[in-house]
Structure 1
Amino acid sequence: MSAHQTGTVTTPAHSPPPRGVRANPWWSLVAVAFGLFMVGLDGSVVSIANPEIGRDLGATTADLQWVTNSYLLALAAALILGGKLGDRYGRRTYYLIGVAGFTLASVAIGLSGSIAGVIAFRALQGFFGALLMPNTLGTLRAVFPPRRFGMAVGIWAMVSSVSTALGPIVGGLLVEHVSWESVFFINAPIGLLALVVSALVLPQTRTSTGHHRFDAGGVLLLAAGLVAVVFAVVKGETWGWTDARTLGCGLAGLLVLALFCWYETRREHPLLPMRLFRNPTLTIGTVITAINFFALLGSIFYLMLYLQNVRGLSPVEAGVHTLPLSVASVVAAPLGAAVTGRFGARVSMPLGMLLQAAAATGLALLSAGSSYHAMWPPFVAFGLGVGMVMAASSEAIVGNAPVRDGGVAGGLQSTALQIGGALGTSVLVSLIGSRVSGTLTGELAAAGVPGAEGFRAAGDAVAMGVAPVTPDMPAQLRAAVTEGAHQAFMNGVHTAALVTAVVCAAAAVVAALGVRRTSYGQP
């Protein structure tokens, strides 16, 4: 029976089977960990660098949003494509292309010298990240036997957590003591190391599918639909969630995605096989992945505003304060893999979501003057929940996909992650802004600020935790404005945290009822 008939993952017909270090799956894990670490670190340092980028390049708030959004749009549009290319033409090949391109784009950002250049090269960085990321999980699915795959995913999740954890601290140190450009230049040595190690130890894996026409129509439809949906999400905060542009763009994207799903069912070799979604655990795992990062990235965004703008901490100090969250997520990743291996994702996934719901409830109790003793328990619970869900959802999605679709499944998970993160940041920041607009005048008046109505135009600044004070204000008035503005901001934080808690609790119920024990897909 041929490889095509069995759907097994093969190396090229003219190449001998991997030997030596290339035959050892643990070396493959080491190789992909370098690229994963680089992307994870970059994702969390950019938020620290944004204020300095704005000051140095004279960027507006809208420009800085596009530093993040251009990356997100390119990443979301190409993740499933990146996985599919790796599955068909070689996961090692596209992983290496992704690492090389991501590294070069990072250096180009630091050398660009203009906000337009930063935005353009961030989009290029996102595209190459889309080639890199899904092929990390796709490779692990191909080289590890099922009994070891859960452990490999746990380590994969731990590397992702470690890189995200180090981001605020590394980014803060580099921005304060070197320059904002250095947070991108740091990717150069990591990327070079990733290329060298991968070239030496990573085997080539691909799915033998015979000769068939590539699904160009599916690529275009999926990219157009995802870009429209993500664009509506990231612009919803600025345009307003009920604005015709937001609704029209979002609806158009959903319609194109619906057309994509219909189109894929009629393709012999589809970009994203719809049969994957017949597995309820894979489908729910995809949704939970999005919710996991909705909660994580959205909460980290407003927590950094709280720690730096309300509490007055430096970027490094803010990173150190959130260290319990980061360390807990690192610990929870292998723990989540172990729990999933023993009891299945039906236990670990709801448990992780409940921990996040409890953490968000704790964050809703913070005040502008809360001590650190009130912060670290929710941080720990959040980190434990995120790490546990990361490991469980990775196994639920990639572990339930056939080996031949490992890269596509990895792209599906990464797409859900990015869309969830974009939604979390946009929706929660929008909720904070809306709550600030509704309570700012009243809070300022309650704090004893005369003419509180005159500060209504400062709502955007207050929604970022910044009190609208000026140096020429009398000390007493400055203190009153700061008190009222910070209380209005905390009102928004409480709303965002409670919404997060409700979403996470609902996700826990869905996971408990719908997820079944992982049953590894056929080769």
Structure 2
Amino acid sequence: MSSQDSAQESGGGNGAVSGGVSGGVRAGAGAHVHRALPGDRGKSGSVLVSIGALLLGMLLAALDQTIVSTALPTIVSDLGGLEHLSWVVTAYMLAATAATPLWGKLGDQYGRKKLFQLAIAIFLVGSALCGVAQNMPQLIGFRALQGLGGGGLMVLSMAIVGDIVSPRERGKYQGLFGAVFGATSVLGPLLGGLFTEHLSWRWVFYVNLPVGVVALLVIAAALHIPVRSQKHRIDYLGTFLIASVATCLVLVASLGGTTWGWGSPEIIGLAVVGVMLAVVFVFVEFRAAEPVLPMKLFRVRTFTLSAIISFVVGFAMFGAMTYLPTFLQVVQGVSPTMSGVHMLPMVIGLLLSSTVSGQIVSRTGRWKVFPVAGTAVTSLGLLLLHNLTENSSTWEMSGYFFVFGLGLGLVMQVLVLIVQNAVPYEDLGVATSGATFFRSIGASFGVAIFGTIFANRLSTKLSSALAGQQVPPGVSTDSLKADPRGIAELPPALRQPVLHAYATSITDVFIYAVPVALLAFALSWFLREDKLRASVTAPDTTQTLASNPVERSSYDEVARALSSLGTREGRRAIYEKITARAGYDLMPAASWLVLRINRYGWAEPAVLAERSTVPLPVVIEAARQVEERRLATREGLDLVLTDEGRAVAARLGQAREDSLAELLGDWWGPERPTDLQQLVAELNKEMCGSDAERPHDGSAGLAA
């Protein structure tokens, strides 16, 4: 649809306007508009309430990825099972990762509101059961149930935003979800420590219940979205197979050398089954109508390399985040709450470098330096963490944590961005979630493998520390592993070697991760620095901090990117650009006014200024110029376009559409998809006088 068509359909004729929604209206119709205001505000308020409930749902799912880490040492002391500690984190991640694409497709088919409510219910049941768990196997099973619901909260909350707000506003609201992720990465360890220290580790899970119930009630009452059923061929078999492959391989990494020997029939059997299922998965994905992970993506070199590097980033990040609180609490004697505080430098480094690198790439188009530098700094960070001892100072630990976070952040944003740039439009959504999927799988492996190394090293080193020593009754290697709090009761001569055993067992984990990080560093040199499309912008933090992929459609991804570009440009810059492109020397505000009148049929300048954020002098000056150029005439207090004015509006609209098409680059070719054409037409209408710019709601304006 052309901009001219869209303008005419929007009421661009000599007065026809749909719904009487203009802020500036014909004389005698003012009462109608003022009667409409409360309804409009109520609708806007309903959207804000719904967004608030969605944010609560996202908060729950995101918080449970980080809040448990500081509680783990206490959980182990209470329930035992140190060798299975990693599974408290891994079970949640695996379940959420496997469930995410399924929730996305089911939401398309059966309506997202009911599915979102179901996801909250599953999550809350899992949370309640985690809180009453009596042993480690129970807790791990209930964490998997919680993760199943958490995956739905992630993907559906993001998708529902697209159902209730326009593409132009979507970037702003998705930014709020990114802020929630950033906040949870900081708040999670702190809250986990506070609940563990002052209440009980069980409150790490119980806290979800009141928040989730509020979200459930608000969603039921306030969220009204149309059920737009889209027929999908859900890849149930592919989803099941990839979850099974990941589970088998993580079980091998977690149980090998601890529960069972590496050469035991159980471990060999799990490894063989995992490999066989992987082969079947590849075969199934080649034949699936809508594969959960299309194999054709691996023909794109950039995607394949980015997937491997993403795996390594997840491996290092979540492996370290899981075991650093254990080091702080057991070795350094820090309280659970303060262990969360000690972790802040890592999170600050990560947020700082990911935000800055993403913005630099979006502005300059140069990106290769960041994955190279990021993997190098991550390797350095792991080496520094390996040097931590029981005698390390707070400043030393904070510096090492900051360097490690800095390295992770440098590479996280950019990996999603370059994958989006490397694939065709139709694969944009699945490639974005695919890149994050590999980081999530890497996280599961990192936590499991770090846990295995830690458990094995600890058994050996505790045995050495206790050998030949006068050991108090009831103290043994197994008792110190089962309850680290027993270290405080040891005599000083024995406490020091035991603390050293714990310290080196944890820090040795990081040296094993260094070769993996160096592999990613080597692979990053082989990335080809293709020129970035103008529409590829820094992803929000939901894509860089989430441990599980947030599946969005290709349409959603482009809408997000173009919306953020429009926001970054600013209203004045947008109208300056399209005015120059159309070949006119009008004021930016005059172009805005012409397009508004064209969309709604008329405008009363004084009311327009009163109801919008554009100052009255700017509107009056724009109206004067429009009248002097004979682009509009007065009918009472209202301005109505002349034939010449409608021609100018058509050229301005076409200039905006051309600008959007230019941003899309080679996606805007002869074979461009219909939904992309509809998106450009929709954004064109919104940016050139949309409902979001209605002067009566005062929610948006032109920085003229």
* TM-score category of the 2 structures, normalised to the smaller one: 0.7 to 0.9
Instruction: Work out which of the residue numbers 204, 209, 220 in structure 1 matches 2:240.
Output: 220
Q: Distance in 1 between matches of 2:227 and 2:311?
A: 28
Q: Distance in 1 between matches of 2:110 and 2:303?
A: 24
8 Å Cα contact 1:92/1:204 also seen in 2: no
Kindly provide the CA deviation profile for residues 450-498 of structure 1, in whole angstroms up to 9, marking residues without a partner as x: 489x999727946x99497695x6xxxx323222233333333443222
8 Å Cα contact 1:74/1:123 also seen in 2: yes
8 Å Cα contact 1:139/1:406 also seen in 2: no
Counterpart AA for 1:492: S
Cα distance change, pair 511–236 in 1 and its aligned pair in 2 (3 A): same
Kindly provide the CA deviation profile for residues 46-94 of structure 1, in whole angstroms up to 9, marking residues without a partner as x: 23334555566x5544675554454344334323333443455556664
The corresponding residue for 1:11 is none
Cα distance change, pair 267–428 in 1 and its aligned pair in 2 (3 A): closer
> 1:170 deviation in Å?
0.6
The corresponding residue for 2:331 is 310
Q: Distance in 1 between matches of 2:168 and 2:375?
A: 25
Instruction: Work out which of the residue numbers 98, 101, 108 in structure 2 matches 1:80.
Output: 101
Structure 2: segments with no counterpart, 5+ residues: 2-39, 537-553, 555-666, 668-675, 677-704
Instruction: List aligned pairs for 1:369-518, cutoff 5 A.
Output: 369-397=391-419, 408-409=430-431, 411-436=433-458, 450=469, 458=477, 461=480, 466=484, 478-514=491-527, 516-517=529-530
% same residue: 29
8 Å Cα contact 2:83/2:452 also seen in 1: no
Instruction: Work out which of the residue numbers 271, 277, 294 in structure 1 matches 2:292.
Output: 271
Moved more, 195-204 or 310-319: 195-204
8 Å Cα contact 2:331/2:503 also seen in 1: no
Counterpart AA for 1:172: G
> 1:315 deviation in Å?
0.3
The corresponding residue for 2:683 is none
> 1:369 deviation in Å?
0.5
Counterpart AA for 2:508: T
Kindly provide the CA deviation profile for residues 233-270 of structure 1, in whole angstroms up to 9, marking residues without a partner as x: 33235234454422331332132122111122123333
> 1:185 deviation in Å?
2.5
Kindly provide the CA deviation profile for residues 116-163 of structure 1, in whole angstroms up to 9, marking residues without a partner as x: 6644432221111222334456678998979997x9888755532421
> 1:187 deviation in Å?
1.9
Counterpart AA for 1:222: I
Kindly provide the CA deviation profile for residues 389-422 of structure 1, in whole angstroms up to 9, marking residues without a partner as x: 3322333456666676666456534542332222
Q: Distance in 2 between matches of 1:247 and 1:29?
A: 49
Counterpart AA for 2:186: A
Q: What value does the CA root-mean-square deviation take over the aligned residues?
A: 4.3
Secondary structure of 1:367's counterpart equals coil
The corresponding residue for 2:256 is 236
Q: Distance in 2 between matches of 1:96 and 1:515?
A: 43
> 1:312 deviation in Å?
1.0
Q: Distance in 1 between matches of 2:158 and 2:439?
A: 14
Q: Does 1:41 align with 2:63?
A: yes
Q: Distance in 2 between matches of 1:380 and 1:44?
A: 17
Q: Distance in 1 between matches of 2:93 and 2:428?
A: 22
Instruction: Work out which of the residue numbers 294, 297, 316 in structure 2 matches 1:295.
Output: 316
Cα distance change, pair 407–90 in 1 and its aligned pair in 2 (3 A): farther
Instruction: List aligned pairs for 1:160-309, cutoff 5 A.
Output: 160-192=181-213, 194=215, 208=230, 213-236=233-256, 238=258, 239-309=260-330
Q: Does 1:129 align with 2:142?
A: no
Secondary structure of 1:265's counterpart equals helix
8 Å Cα contact 2:462/2:501 also seen in 1: yes
> 1:376 deviation in Å?
1.0
Kindly provide the CA deviation profile for residues 282-302 of structure 1, in whole angstroms up to 9, marking residues without a partner as x: 333332222222112211233
Cα distance change, pair 419–310 in 1 and its aligned pair in 2 (3 A): same
Instruction: List aligned pairs for 1:25-104, cutoff 5 A.
Output: 33-53=55-75, 58=79, 60-61=81-82, 67-86=88-107, 94-104=115-125
Counterpart AA for 1:227: T
8 Å Cα contact 1:137/1:407 also seen in 2: no
Matched residue count = 491
> 1:316 deviation in Å?
0.7
Counterpart AA for 1:45: I
Counterpart AA for 2:237: G
Q: Distance in 2 between matches of 1:481 and 1:425?
A: 30
Which has the larger share of helix?
A: 1
Provide TM-score, normalisation by structure 1.
0.77
Cα distance change, pair 215–99 in 1 and its aligned pair in 2 (3 A): same
8 Å Cα contact 1:345/1:516 also seen in 2: yes
8 Å Cα contact 1:352/1:385 also seen in 2: yes
8 Å Cα contact 2:196/2:204 also seen in 1: yes
Counterpart AA for 1:430: T
Cα distance change, pair 152–97 in 1 and its aligned pair in 2 (3 A): same
The corresponding residue for 1:15 is none
The corresponding residue for 1:4 is none
